[in-house]
Amino acid sequence: MPNALKQIAQHKLIPVVVIDAEEYALPLADALVAGGLPIAEITFRTDAAEGAIRALAKRGDLLVGAGTVLTLEQADRAIDAGAAFVVAPGTNRQVVEHCMERNIPITPGVATPTDIELALSLGLDTLKFFPAQALGGVPMLKAISGPYRQVRFVPTGGITLDNMLDYLAMPHVLACGGSWLAARDKLANNQFDTIQHTVAAAVKRLATHS
């Protein structure tokens, strides 16, 4: 398992972040580190994503990756900015193969057995189950994972403090991704103390149920 995925497995939670201004990056990192979760997936949904990844990668005290990577160009920008891992909403053969060629772990999204088998054919065994809750949540993931015991999943989409442990209780779940940990509106309103408390609460719940 690549080192980035080992770190993700240790943390068990990935804050999925939509960031609208690069200036939010460093105070966000401070909040995540102080809250006990030094990891962030910065999604390529805004123009600030690349700069935010670059700023976070320079710190050295947290693991930063790129999410919502849809194209080869975005993948290159993310990797060149210092992303240690790449996440995509779907399984795009070209993007997957490009990231593998650049020795960056990629976790593409899957929703069906066909998606899973495509990813397996590309040599991957860690996949994003997305959008998790909309697809049927824990019961669906249990059902779809049955034939694929070698696959580890990162469910993302609709994950909350209240349901994360249900997912993490499954042996084939590596970690969960969640946007609630560093919500976009909290960043926009400079509510970094709130983000720290939200992260700390999630880390505490993990610790008390591990």
Which residue among the candidates 12, 41, 50, 186 is catalytic per the annotation?
Answer: 41
**Distance from C-alpha of 53 to C-alpha of 185, rounded to nearest angstrom:** 19
128 is catalytic: yes
22 as an active site residue: the answer is no
Cα 197 to Cα 136: distance, rounded to the nearest angstrom: 29
- Catalytic one of 12, 50, 128, 186: 128
Helical H segments across the chain, by residue range: 3-11, 25-35, 49-57, 72-81, 93-101, 113-121, 137-145, 164-168, 184-188, 192-208
Please answer whether residues 103 and 129 qualify as being in contact, where contact means their C-beta atoms are separated by less than 8 angstroms.
Answer: no
Reduced to 3 states, what is the DSSP secondary structure of residue 13?
A: strand
The neighbour count for residue 80, using CB atoms within 10 Å, is: 12
Report the catalytic residues. Answer: 41, 128
